[in-house]
Amino acid sequence: MTPLGNEKDIDILDRYIYGLSGQEETTEVEERLRRDVSFRDTYNLLLSVSEGTRVDGLSEKWSQLRSIESNISEDGGIATEQETKSNITEKKKKRFPYIRIAIAAILLFLIGMTAGKIMKKNNEIVMPVAELEPYIRHETIRSSQKKQLLTDDQQMAYNNYVLRDFRDAKPLLKNLWDNDRDTLALYYLGISQWYSGEESKAKEILELPFYNTYEKPY
C-alpha cells in the first residue's frame, strides 16, 4: 500500500466521489487514476471509508428498529397508533405474572450484588441495573477480538461506567475527552454526572447538538 495522498489530493478526490468536480477536474482526476498508483490507492481508501461509514450507520439504525419491534411484539404485536396508553397498560396487567416475578427476582439479585458499590457513593442516585442499558453505546461483549477495539484507558473508564461506578468513571472519562476528544466518553461523563446528582452539568454536555440522537435520562 502506498502512502496516503496529501490533503489537497483528498479534497480533489472527495469532490470527485461526490460528483462535485467540474468537467476539467474530472478529466484530470480520471487521468491521474489511470497512471498514479498512490492517487488510486487513496481514492480506493476514500471509497472504502464512504461505504464503511454507511454500513456502520445503517447497522446501528437496523438494530434500533429491531429493538423497537421487539418492544412492540412484547406488547402483543398489535400496538398501533390508535392504541391508547391505557390499553397497553391493561394488556400488560393481563400477562402471565410469573414472567414478571422471574424478571424481578433476577433484577433483585443483580441489584443485591451491586448495591454496595452503588450506595456507597455520596449524593449519587441509586439506579436499577437495567436503567443504564439505553445509555451504553459501545460493545460490551468480552472476547479477545473485541478488547482490541478499545484502548486500555477506554476499557477502564467504560467498564467503571457500565458498572455504574460513576465516581471512579468520571475523572477517567473526562481525561479521555480532554486528551483524545473521545465523544463517547464525554457522553458517558454527562450520563454519569446526571446519575451523580449533577444535573445541570450533565445537561450542559447532553444538550450539545452532537448528542441530539443519543438517549437521554430526562
Partner 1 sequence: MDWIEHLRSDENVALRKIYTDYRQPCLHWLRSSLNINHEDGIEIFQMAVIILYDNVQKGKLRSLTGDIKSYIFSIARNKSLELHRKYKREIRQEEFSTPLKSYIVEESILEKENLEERIETSYKALQILGDPCKTLLQLYYYKSMKMEDISQLMGYKNAATTKNQKYKCLRRLQSIYQTHKIQNDSVG
Q: Which residues sit at the interface with partner 1, rule CB under 8 A? A: 1-2, 4, 7, 10, 17-18, 37, 40-41, 44-59, 61-62, 64-66, 68-69, 72, 77-81, 139, 148-150, 154, 180-185, 208-210, 212-215
Residue 122 or 148 with smaller CB distance to partner 1: 148
- Residue 148's Cβ-count burial label (10 Å; 0-12, 13-18, 19+) is exposed
Q: Which is nearer to partner 1, 70 or 200 (CB)?
A: 70
CB-wise, 124 or 177, nearer to partner 1? 177
CB 198 within 8 A of CB 126: no
* Least distance from partner 1 to the Cβ atom of residue 121, Å: 27
Cell numbers at 214, concatenated = 443519543
Q: How far apart are CA 44 and CA 49, in angstroms?
A: 9
User: What 3-state class would DSSP assign to 163?
Assistant: coil
Q: Which residue has the cell 436503567?
A: 131
Q: Among residues 38 and 114, whose Cβ is nearest to partner 1?
A: 38
- Tell me how far apart the alpha carbons of residues 190 and 185 are, in angstroms, rounded to a whole number: 9
| Measured distance CA(55)–CA(32) in Å, rounded | 29
Minimal distance in Å, beta carbon 57 to partner 1?
Answer: 5
Cα distance between residue 42 and residue 199, in whole Å: 46
- Please report how close the Cβ of residue 195 comes to partner 1 at its closest, in angstroms: 21
Question: Which lies closer to partner 1 via its Cβ, residue 111 or residue 208?
Answer: 208
Strand positions, DSSP E, 42-196 = none
Q: Which amino acid, residue 33?
A: L
Smallest separation, CB 73 to partner 1 (Å): 9
Q: Smallest distance from the beta carbon of 41 to partner 1, in angstroms?
A: 3
